[in-house]
Homo-oligomer: A and B are copies of this chain.
Amino acid sequence: MQIELYYWPDIQGRGEFIRLALEAADADYIDVARGEDGMTQLLDTLQSTAIIHPPFAPPFIRVDGAVIAQVAGILQALGPQLELVPSDEAGRAWVHQCQLTIADFVGEVHDTHHPVGGSAYYEDQKPEALRRSTEFRRERLSKFLHYFESILERNPAGDTWLVGDTLSYADLSMFQMLAGLGYAFPKAMARVGVEVPRLLALQQRVALVPNVARYLRSKRRLDFNNDDIWRHYPELDD
């Protein structure tokens, strides 16, 4: 059963959390918007009034005729089939809760360069972005990273993965977050990174999962860039 992924074709963005899960599981999927007429298909689906459960925004997937949106919801739906969740319900709920907190983290990273909102360019909200990113680097970055470090530390199965003793989609998403932070805030991450060694080890471990490593070397993995969530503006870093 082929999975259709719909996301903006030129950035990693929130779609990358889904893409990493699909790639890690070597799933049969197509990245619709990167194909021929892909953007038309994405926009048509987004605007279709025939969809009973419409997506608010990309990413969304279509699988078995159903349209599912929201990163955390998509991953929760695909997790069992992709074998990226523990077998027990409590473990699955915990993976999902971790993903919801990663989603909050993503929103805060995005707002460092767009504190005024998405309809104005970064260049038109630089003073606001300087304030927001300062607060982010001083308060939030460390709080989020220490939180996830403590999850690894508290995992009864050891600190290899966030939940239980196997790779889950939350590990993949945490890898993506750390990679993005390293791109966007190299100085702040050099400062805070030393305080969260388990997380940095997790990032390396995920990158070496064979299917993930293959994907990261492929052309399907786009580079980080300054149209994305994680942007490198040196003035917003330490």
Residues of A within 8 Å of B, CB-based: how many? 46
Which among B69, B104, B116, B136 is the interface contact of A131 at CB below 8 angstroms? B116
Which residue of chain B has its CB nearest to the CB of A124?
B131
Known contacts A70-B97, A154-B54; A135 and B117 CB within 8 A of each other: yes
Give 1 or 0 for each of A4-40: 1 = CB within 8 Å of chain B CB. Answer: 0000000000000000000000000000000000000
**Does residue A224 face the partner (Cβ distance < 8 Å to B)?**
no
Give 1 or 0 for each of A62-99: 1 = CB within 8 Å of chain B CB. Answer: 00001011101100110000000000001001101100
**Does residue A41 face the partner (Cβ distance < 8 Å to B)?**
no
Q: Please state if A93 and B117 are interface contacts (CB–CB under 8 Å).
A: no
Q: Which residues of B contact A140 (CB under 8 A)?
A: 117
What is the CB-to-nearest-CB distance from A65 to chain B, in angstroms, rounded to a whole number?
Answer: 11
Give 1 or 0 for each of A111-148: 1 = CB within 8 Å of chain B CB. Answer: 10001111110000100100110011011100010010
Residues of A with Cβ closer than 8 Å to B?
Answer: 49, 51-54, 56, 66, 68-70, 72-73, 76-77, 90, 93-94, 96-97, 100-101, 104, 107, 111, 115-120, 125, 128, 131-132, 135-136, 138-140, 144, 147, 150-151, 154-156
Smallest CB-CB A-B distances: 7 pairs: A117-B135, A70-B100, A115-B115, A116-B131, A128-B128, A73-B97, A56-B101
